[in-house]
Amino acid sequence: MPQGSNASVKRGRSRPIPRAEATTKPHITKEKVHRFLMGSKDREGFLKQFTVYALLICIGFIYTYPILHMVSSSMMSLDDLLDSSIKWLPSSLNFENFRQAGESMNFWKALWQSVVIAGVPTICNLLSCSVTGYALARFDFPGKKIVMGVIILSFVLPAQITMIPTYVLYSKLGILNTVWAFILPSLFGQGFKAPIFILIFWQFFRQIPKVLIEASRIDGAGHFRSFFKVALPSAGPAFITVALFSFVWYWNESYLTELYVHGVYGQSDWTTLVIQLDNFAANFSGYQQTATNAATNLNESISMAGTLLSILPLTILYFVLQRHFVESIDRTGITGE
């Protein structure tokens, strides 16, 4: 073969051979656009996600805006309040507002009494309502449906209707203007919002398999032993739910507390942070007159500081027990069969 032809063959072999493109440019179709916006079975669409997150952000802003405004205003001085250029960030953090608000509210004493007034009836509610709910869930007796109807009716019945006869009864028993006005009724299953607590325990104990109770009875356990050894250990979620609801409702109740415990006529020494907040202006006026140092006149910053101090304990409680509370709410809806 001629030498020139060999050279041409070599040059031909070294020349790169063009290949067809491996990939093609994606084409935007109506189906892809519809799948992106509306979603499919495997994933949610952009419009749904955007709507959900937009609603959550708006609702979150509605709830957090007053709290952020309260925290910001509570740390402002009087000059910052009068300065129209200062809206959110104060020129300097003024913690003197909290000191004056706390002293005018007698914060530590009111906090301790609030814990007692809300905590002791809550413990009594747990004892009485759990026993009542277990009895209604596990025993059949004549008039059981009537008892359930009375419990539901007492929950629906507004507290304002029974307020006057309850006040007269507490006065005759001699427990008016004392903490026993909350403790004694809760011991007998008549505490604040006790009917709904009985229904929570009743619903939960109904979900416990009957074979567990029957097995304990075969082993020789009586009714009380079956309740304490079998039913109570598995009722943790119900106890957490009832304890949190009861504590928060007793804590936030101001009208009945002021009527039965704090005292409208012949005031007692018992008070709560909520009552102190209701009477904040009068309390601060008295503190201003008796303060050894010069106290600032009541303004928005001191009022916001007092409000923040009154809600701070419950806020901390929610943050600490939030996970347990959510789990208890979730588990109370799971059947045991």
Position of tokens 């051979």?
Answer: 17
Residues of the chain with pLDDT under 70: 1-28, 33-34, 36-37, 39, 41, 264-267, 288, 291-295, 324-337
Burial of 205 (0-12, 13-18, 19+ CB in 10 A): buried
- Asked if residue 150 lies in contact with residue 215, where contact means CB atoms within 8 angstroms, the answer is no
pLDDT score for 337: 39
d(CA 15, CA 262): 100
Cα–Cα dist 271/287, whole Å = 17
The 10s digit of each residue's pLDDT in 256-283 is 888 888 876 656 788 888 888 888 877 7
Identity of the amino acid at 141: F
What is the C-alpha to C-alpha distance for residues 321 and 183, in angstroms, rounded to an integer?
Answer: 24
Per-residue model confidence (pLDDT) at position 227:
78
> Phi and psi at residue 96, in whole multiples of 5°?
-65, -25
User: Do residues 178 and 266 make contact, with C-beta atoms less than 8 angstroms apart?
Assistant: no
Task: Tell how many helices (H) and how many strands (E) occur in the chain.
Answer: 17, 0
Task: Name 306's bridge partners.
Answer: none
Q: How far apart are CA 314 and CA 251, in angstroms?
A: 9
Tell me what pLDDT residue 256 has. 87
Q: What are the extents of the domains in the chain?
A: 31-96, 97-331
CA gap 183, 190 in Å, rounded:
10
Percentages helix, strand, coil for the chain (3-state, rounded to 5) are 70, 0, 30
Is there a contact between 337 and 209 (Cβ–Cβ < 8 Å)?
yes
- Residues contacting residue 303 through CB under 8 Å, at least 6 positions apart: 101, 280
3-state secondary structure (DSSP) of residue 298: coil
- Of 73, 105, 78, the closest CA to residue 89 belongs to 73
Q: Using the CB atoms, write b or e for 92-106: b if 16+ within 10 Å.
A: eebeebbebbbbbbe
Q: In one letter, which amino acid is 230?
A: V
Res 99: pLDDT: 87
Q: Apex CA 277: angle with CA 103 and CA 266, to 5°?
A: 90
Q: Give the model confidence (pLDDT) of 180-226 as tens digits.
A: 999 999 998 888 888 899 988 888 888 877 777 777 777 777 777 77
What is the C-alpha separation between 92 and 86, in angstroms, rounded? 11
Which one, of 132, 122, 152, lies nearest residue 239 by Cα? 122
What is the identity of the amino acid at 222?
G
Which residues on adjacent β-strands are paired with residue 39?
44
User: Exposed (0-12), middle (13-18) or buried (19+): which is 15, by Cβ within 10 Å?
Assistant: exposed
Class of domain 97-331: mainly alpha
